[in-house]
Amino acid sequence: MHAQDVVVALKLAFESEGESYAAMADDLGLSASQVHAAVKRAGEAGLLVAGSRKVNQQALVEFLVHGLKYVFPAKRGPIVRGMPTAHSAPPLNETIIDDEAPVVWPDPTGTVRGESIEPLHKGVPHAARLDEQLYQSLSLIDAIRTGRARERKLAAQKLKAMIQS
């Protein structure tokens, strides 16, 4: 698996039926061949229903909540300008109040200064700006990858509800 496979699987979880690989590629900052390869790898991993682009919701949630932080651990960095993520972004920023610096994906067009965290894939900030549901799910994943126990538990509950709705 590649990190971009997770982003593609999440996009598929929220996509409108029949979106082309080219359209998904534009939305995610990838090429159509990268999206196609990601769909193939996600299918082989059991994150998609065999032979389709339909997400295996239970498997995806289980992987995101219990396995992702080990396969793609979060790497924190310096204070930079960026786009809020984890508990600093919706939907967790409405519930969790933190006195520390916000957590952000480095992004030159970002409006918030905070502690940087490497996104799952370099195209994540671009994709998040185009799709609010994808943005929220990626932020919840970062809360699971970086957060304390309470943040991880709340993020897991919200992520499961988003994917399985």
13 neighbors 60 (Cβ within 8 angstroms): yes
Of the candidates 54, 71, 88, which is a domain's last residue? 71
Of the candidates 17, 41, 71, which is a domain's last residue? 71
At 8 the pLDDT is: 96
Say how far apart CA 109 and CA 111 lie, in whole Å: 7
pLDDT digits (tens, 9 = 90+) for 76-87: 999 999 999 999
Assess whether 64 and 107 both reside in one domain: no
Assess whether 118 and 67 both reside in one domain: no
Q: What is the DSSP letter of 63?
A: I
Instruction: Give the total number of structural domains in the chain.
Output: 2
Assess whether 56 and 28 both reside in one domain: yes
CATH number, domain of 59, equals 1.10.10
Assess whether 84 and 57 both reside in one domain: no
Q: Domain residues for 105?
A: 76-163
At 88 the pLDDT is: 94
At 16 the pLDDT is: 67
Count of C-beta atoms within a 10 Å radius of residue 60: 24
Q: What is the pTM of this model?
A: 0.94
pLDDT digits (tens, 9 = 90+) for 16-74: 677 889 999 999 999 999 999 999 999 999 999 988 899 999 999 999 999 999 999 99
Q: What is the mean pLDDT of residues 76-103?
A: 92
Question: For all residues of the chain together, what is the average pLDDT?
Answer: 93
**% the chain with pLDDT above 70:** 99
Say how far apart CA 142 and CA 46 lie, in whole Å: 22
For residue 21, give every residue at least 6 positions away whose Cβ sits within 8 Å of its Cβ, in sequence order, or none.
32, 35, 36, 39
Assess whether 38 and 105 both reside in one domain: no
Assess whether 23 and 85 both reside in one domain: no
Assess whether 20 and 38 both reside in one domain: yes
As a whole number of Å, the CA-based R_g of the chain is 15
46: left (phi > 0), else alpha (psi -120 to 50), else beta?
A: left
Q: What is the DSSP letter of 154?
A: H
**The two three-digit tokens of residue 114, written as one number:** 């905070």
